[in-house]
Structure 1
Amino acid sequence: MKGIWGGLVLAAALLGLAAPLHAATKAEPPAVKKTAPKAGGKTAVKPKPKAKANTTKAAAGKPVRHATMVDNDPAHLALHSSSVLVLDQTTGQAIVEKQSGSVQPIASITKLMTAMVVLDAGLDLYEVISIGEEDVDSLKSSTSRLPVGTTMTRETAMLLALMSSENRAANALGRHYPGGLPAFVRAMNSKAAALGMYNSRFEEPTGLSSNNVSTAHDLARMVAAAAHYPEIRHFSTTAEARVELRGHIRDFVNTNTLVRSDNWEIGLSKTGYISEAGRCLVMQANVAGKPVVIVLLDSNGKMSRVGDANRIKRWMESASLVNARRSA
């Protein structure tokens, strides 16, 4: 009799291990499924009770993958830029990385360094400078809306270089530096060394040369430094401007369409493109309550750098929401 009774107790105990899971499923209503924005193309839910693994069963019985800030594999974001770095400025932690140490051409991202060197020199921003034959692009034969002979203040030249990526304006800034372009380029490389950009090299102030090279990590340092200059923050995020040139009013727009978006809070921005560098974009922004630096290099489509930025933003916001609910 004791043997039979003991067997019944053991069976009841084993069944009791599984009972809470089945009971919870029946007693509680199905967890509400929250569809995350299409960052990883999957759905995030808050399971009840919490699952120990990174996947669980949704109400419909399908496995669901949870987005978390720890899960920083860029393959899940389907990023089209060949080199990526998203850096949390508060902690210094890399949130997303993809070939962030690769040395490659940086195109007009160069112009952030150009602006810093001009401002560090304390040159008069209201001094009038001119566009000369020396400022015409002989490397890529790119066009410009600034004819030779155009005059403007150094401040306007900086605005057009940062906002509309005007190459002639950027070159004129370097050419009107004390000691001319050779001295200016030396100052650019000295500034890079001072910032710890040890894998970077600058040959001229526009970015048209493919010999202007850096890494995503070095550029994150440069962006963080440039964000300390009010003029750079303001000029690089100006959506559009009307400028009087040679008696005519000209409209200029920012090369980064995201600065005109209400969905973004951007503190600094710069785009770049030459064939060797691909489409590039760097920004300092607040995303999901975090101040971050975003570096996207060598993106392989005209709009893919913007798409990558939006994918990163949606993923961070989704992950932040999931983490907040888990800790609630």
Structure 2
Amino acid sequence: MKRPTRRMIIAGAVLAAGAIVTAAALGFGGSVPQVEASSTGLPPATAKITKGTLTQTQSVAGTLSYGPVTPLTGKADGTITWLPEPGAVIKPGDPLYKIDNDPVQLFTGKLPPYRTLSEGDSGPDVKQLEKNLKALGYKGIQVDKYFGSSTTEAVHEWQDDHGLPENGEVAPGQYAVAAGPIRVTEVKTTVGATLAPGAEVLGYTGTERLVEIDLPVDKQQYVDVGNPATVVLPDGSKVKGTVSKIGAVASTDEEGDTTIGVTVTIKDQKALGTLEAAPVTVQLITGKATDVLTVPVTALVALSGGGYGVQVVDGGQVSYVTVKTGMFAGGMVEISGSGLTAGTVVGVAS
């Protein structure tokens, strides 16, 4: 009868996939304990079965930045009298730039200004204006899509606070909207220049750095919105991230590679240091097995009747136990078999 033999093919295949172990050996210090056998006839080395979590990952290339640049165009004509510096962070209620010394303010919203608003008007743009005025501290205003007397009063106060003509009307050239605070990336004009409606004033991004990935479409199954990801910075340090957006439309470049855009957000911005833009590696989780028994892949033995087993070493005796394998990750393999528990000693290849 043939003796079981160890095969290393499996180990090579799973290691090539780039899988890693994020936690292992609950109760055993997080690493695989190796103990040299001392009796003749025993395996050359042993390891204890551990219980923990195996995590498979797929590494892809990404780019760290503040995200895509959005152009900001003017809605009124006049002379530019003040501009922010590149890198400046502008919050809702702060001026984006000044034209004829009147500030053009940043409001929060999605609907760009397209008409002059005054008492009697109604619509989503009125509600957007009212929400911003209320958020800026103007009291007594009713947020209801209708430009009533309370809105007029709040607009008068807002105009008085910012040196604007107190006419109770809000012109489209007096504000611009964005999803939240912005970071100025570039200025497209100069102080003293004449601005015409539709002319680009500056470019901006969000205020938090993120990672954008052009993910090959054949790897799309690895990502879902909300999945955790690990961002590896150029210095080798790692930062936790979360998949926040997956594009709906794939694109093909000049070389014929088809990709889909994926965005990874990073909560701990301080962990990124002073980096503003850099190529990074992103480790996407492709699978996870929790609370499972694991052994080094080198503990697997190919049984003569087919399948795999492990050599259990107990009191100087060796017995073979058939196992069912599960996930492979980072040189470890999930196993289950009769009588096997965390702490059981098994043979491994030297």
Q: TM-score, normalised by structure 2?
A: 0.22
Q: Which has the higher relative contact order, 1 or 2, with Cα contacts under 8 A spaced 6 or more apart?
A: 2
Q: TM-score, normalised by structure 1?
A: 0.23
User: Per residue, is there more strand in 1 or in 2?
Assistant: 2
Higher-Rg member (1/2): 2
